[in-house]
Amino acid sequence: MPDVSSRIASIHSRMAKAATKAKRKPNSVKLIAVSKLQPPTSVEEAIKSGQKAFGENRVQEAEEKFAPLREKHPHLELHLIGHLQTNKALSAVKLFDVIQTLDREDLAVGLAKAIKKTGRAPQLYIEVNLGREEQKAGIYPEELENFIYECREKHGLEISGLMCIPPIEEDPIPHFTKLKELADKHRLHNISMGMSADFEEAISCGATEIRIGTAIFGERAR
Ligand SMILES: *Cc1c(COP(=O)(O)O)cnc(C)c1O
């Protein structure tokens, strides 16, 4: 098993360096440890070294892994960073503190219903498809303004951030810069961008949270 705690320490020092270089405060960026396809023992190891925020791609996997972990560690903060089916909106609202992948109106409707029913209101980020990739989820940049309006006015949802996954084969910096611009324009404070391969660039462009999987836990099982 990789040494999770020393990898986390090394990520923190690289985050601090990138922040300082960008004239930002080192504590202005949050580390989300992406634990999809990783066993609970690896998550436990991360928790031991002070890690609090975790990202998962699938509702069911996250439920199975984190329900028992949360009994021991009630302070954990859970982020959904993968595609959410509308019929799982209720489970997602019950489980997650942040849902980063709001990307279409029928999901907005489902989330609004689930929030009403449970009285729980996770923070919601909109996923933006900056590369305009057809196979990828996310709202196109030119549709964002209208989508935010509809989420707020029609569905009563509070939107607090944006997230993106730039096209893998492209320079991420123009995409990160664009997401930061869009977030500023709409006064959204949470900017989720940057993964193992490009988080320093994301921090230099204004990321407030980065999502790191393999650089913490090593390669995933599948
Ligand atoms: C898997 C995943 C990550 C983490 O990717 P790594 O390259 O392993 O750091 C980040 N964000 C999303 C949306 C993911 O699906």
For the stretch 162-191, pLDDT in tens is 999 999 999 999 999 999 999 999 999 999
Backbone dihedral angles phi then psi of residue 156, each to the nearest 5 degrees = 65, 25
81 in ligand 1 pocket by Cβ < 6 Å? yes
What confidence tens digit (pLDDT) does each residue in 50-70 have?
A: 999 999 999 999 999 999 999
Task: Answer yes or no: is pLDDT of 221 > 90.
Answer: no
Identify which of 97, 32, 99, 43 has the alpha carbon closest to the alpha carbon of residue 66. Answer: 43
Q: Check whether 1 has a pLDDT greater than 80.
A: no
Q: Which of 100, 136, 195 to mutate to test the pocket of ligand 1 (most atoms within 8 A of CB)?
A: 195
pLDDT at 220: 84
Distance 195 CA to ligand 1 centre (A): 6
Task: Provide mean pLDDT across the span 87-93.
Answer: 98
Closest residue by Cα to atom 10, ligand 1, is 211
| Cα–Cα distance, 139 to 34 (Å, whole number) | 23
Spacing, Cα 35 to ligand 1 middle (Å):
9
For residues 3-30, average pLDDT: 97
**Closest ligand 1 atom to Cα of 196:** 9
Task: Name the residue among 54, 128, 159, 131 with its Cα closest to residue 96.
Answer: 54
Q: What are the tokens at 9?
A: 């320490």
C-alpha to C-alpha distance for 10 and 102, rounded to whole angstroms: 31
Q: In terms of DSSP H, where are the helices of 96-198?
A: 105-118, 144-149, 172-185
Q: Which residue, judged by its Cα, is nearest atom 14 of ligand 1?
A: 81
| 165 within ligand 1 shell (Cβ under 6 A) | yes
Note whether 77 and 52 are within 8 A (CB).
Answer: yes
34 pocket-lining for ligand 1 (C-beta < 6 Å): yes
Q: Which residues are CB-contacts of 176 (< 8 A; sequence separation ≥ 6)?
A: 164, 166, 193, 194, 201, 202, 205, 206, 207
Alpha-carbon gap, residue 148 to 130, rounded angstroms: 16
Write down the pTM of the prediction. Answer: 0.97
- Alpha-helix runs per DSSP H in the chain: 4-21, 40-48, 59-72, 89-95, 105-118, 144-149, 172-185, 199-204, 214-217
